[in-house]
Amino acid sequence: MPDYRELVDFVVRRLVTQPDEVHVTERTDERGVSAITIRVAPEDVGRVIGKRGATINAIRLVAKAAAVKVNDRVDVDIVEDE
């Protein structure tokens, strides 16, 4: 099984201005779906989401492409702390 958390962490750290503030967690539910959660500094949220969500959708696409090779399911979400 690929390490989706590490893959997403690698991509996100190169996008943001404060890579030390990046926290990526992975949880697997009872159906075997890996849920990846991204937390970044408040000023970097826009960079990760991108214009009209293009960047976060690209990150999701990369993770899902890695998952389809081994017949896994993965969901990627970003959490906006206030």
Number of domains into which the chain is organized: 1
What pairing do the DSSP bridges indicate for beta strands 33-39 and 73-79? parallel
Asked whether the predicted pLDDT for residue 10 surpasses 70, the reply is yes
pLDDT for 81 equals: 72
| CATH code (residue 40) | 3.30.300.20
Predicted pLDDT of residue 55 = 96
pLDDT of residue 72: 92
Range of the structural domain that residue 69 is part of: 4-79
Classify residue 4 as exposed, middle or buried by CB count within 10 Å of its CB (0-12, 13-18, 19+). buried
The helix/strand/coil state of 57 is helix
For residue 69, pLDDT beyond 80:
yes
The pLDDT of residue 32 is 86
User: What is this structure's pTM?
Assistant: 0.91
